[in-house]
Amino acid sequence: MDHWMLVGLGYALQPGNIAVMVLGVLIGMIFGATPGLSGASAMTMLLPLTFLFPAQTGVLFLLAIWNAAVYAGSIPSILINIPGTAAAAATAIEGHLLARRGLARRALRGSIVGSTIGGIAAAASLLYMSPPLAKLSLLFGPAEMFSFALFGMATVVSLSSGSLLRGLIGALIGLAMATVGFAPDGSERFVFTPDFLDGFPLIPTLVGIFTIPVVLNLVLEQRSQIAGDISSLKNADSFLLNLSDWAKHWFNIVRSAVIGVVVGVLPGTGPTIAAFVSYGEARRSAKPPHEFGKGDVAGVLASETANNAAVFSSLVPAITLGIPGSVDAVIILAALTMHGLMPGPTLFDRSPQIVYTVFMGAFVTNFIMLVVGLVGAKHIAQFTRIRLSLLVPVILTLGLLGAYSVHNNMFDVFLALGVGLFGFVLHRFGISLAALILGLILGDILEVQFFQAVTLYNNAWQAFVERPISLLFILLALASIVYSLRKDYRERRARAHA
């Protein structure tokens, strides 16, 4: 392992890879800092560009975009109280209060430093947790893979925003879309055109879900630009340049990094949940004299450390088992499969240089993000004022070009538009698009593994609960649903008594 770590670091530090990661960080920061956009939007639109690079370079490009976008969502959260990404919503609680007190630089510095430390923790989890988990996954048969995918599906549904019902509807729509194409027994289903023989084309579908609804929402807002007062950036601040600041906040940072890594590894959770859990813990454990509710930098450190710690750690089950835990991880898996690399335990044996280049590159991209964030945050903040009349056509053009370029087929463009309009309608009704995408991806895994398990165990259905690992994941899936039902019930009771 040490040998491959050095090999991977050597590849990651090649000038070409460094340049690509710098470009990815800049793109991610621009998308993250622009309210309404996200890292998933950028990654989806630019995914076809990875054809131009070697596999590891393409993945590093996407990782840099993803990591930087999660961080950069904190910039508009702090400056204008509009989260650039969902993961930055917790940062806005204390960050904007700090900006209103003239301490925007303190909040932004806490954000970039916390994000970098969280990102390094996530990279370490990816490096040290993935190989043993890949070996453990060799013990997984079809029953265990089915149960783990079921657990991931249940977690996504139970943690979807809004309600359990809306998350379930999104997941069921995704599962229904996954039935298009060849069944595990070789028969065709719902193939109205040869373009659907392999199911819904992944990249045009992702472009539709993550680009078209964003464009339509921006148009419906009917704003010429997103205005905000960023004058407080001019005020100097020495926060985190003194050892006393580190002595005061080190435990909060370490705790938040651990929370982010643990939450990130769990399928279906991700940076948003990690940020709010960590912010809640920081506020709960705060001792006087704290300034929570008035603008406390501890809240910014907690949320930003946790949300970036949940980024790369969510790739652990994706790379080792081939089961994505988040929609962003789906895009990374798509990049790997586009280059003929199948995620799973065999990836470590067949392409270790690629795997460890990605692992070590995850560390490098965090340091690049730190430098760019410290130097350029105040300039990137200007993108919060970009004219939407310029932004919308650029996003739409890049997205549709990305859909077309995969197969050079206009069908993919029309599919992206159709899926995007459908996704926009679902979004307006509060249906979880993340649950839909993961339902589409996990649906094929669920069906294939279930079919193989039933065939292998001679239709012995009890095999799913007799095998310990399989039973564990089934129980965890049920527990996540029960948790969500109890949560919804308590919220309804609270509203009834309000």
DSSP output for 373-433: HHHHHHHHGGGGG-BHHHHHHHHHHHHHHHHHHHHT-HHHHHHHHHHHHHHHHHHHTT--H
| Structure token digits, residue 150 | 């079921």
Burial class of residue 267, CB neighbours in 10 A (0-12, 13-18, 19+): buried
pTM for the full predicted model = 0.79
- How many Å apart are CA 75 and CA 73, to the nearest integer? 6
For residues 70 and 91, is the Cβ–Cβ distance under 8 A? no
- Please tell me what DSSP assigns to residue 225: B
Tokens of 190: 């719902």
Compute the residue count for the chain: 498
Domain count, the chain: 1
259's tokens: 């929370």
Distances in Å between the alpha carbon of 199 and those of 196, 355, 388?
Answer: 5, 28, 35
Q: Would you call 181 helix, strand, or coil by DSSP?
A: strand
Residues 6+ apart with CB under 8 A from 298: 94, 249, 252, 282, 286, 290, 292
**Measuring CA to CA, which residue among 117, 91, 68 is closest to residue 246?**
117
Q: Which residues form the domain of 114?
A: 2-497
- Determine the angle formed by the axes of helices 39-46 and 327-338, rounding to 10 degrees: 20
Per-residue pLDDT of the chain (498 residues; tens, 9 = 90+): 678 889 999 999 999 999 999 999 999 998 888 766 778 888 988 888 888 889 999 999 999 999 999 898 888 888 877 776 777 878 888 888 888 888 888 888 899 999 999 999 999 998 998 888 877 777 778 888 888 888 878 877 776 655 678 888 888 999 999 888 888 877 888 888 887 878 888 878 888 887 788 788 877 765 544 444 555 566 666 778 788 888 888 999 999 999 889 888 876 667 877 888 888 888 888 777 777 878 888 999 999 999 999 888 888 888 888 877 677 888 888 888 888 888 887 888 888 899 999 999 999 999 999 999 888 777 776 766 667 677 778 878 878 887 887 778 888 899 999 999 999 999 888 888 878 887 888 888 888 888 888 888 777 677 788 888 888 889 988 888 887 788 777 777 777 776
**Strand ranges (DSSP E) for 95-208?**
181-182, 188-189
- Classify burial at 349, counting beta carbons within 10 Å of its beta carbon; exposed 0-12, middle 13-18, buried 19 or more: exposed
* Residue tagged 């070409």 (tokens): 16
How far apart (Å, rounded) are the C-alpha atoms in residues 332 and 212? 20
Non-local (6+) Cβ contacts of 82 within 8 A are 35, 76, 92, 226, 228, 384
Q: Which residues of 392-411 are buried (b: 16+ CB within 10 A; e: fewer)?
A: beebbebbbebbbebeeeeb
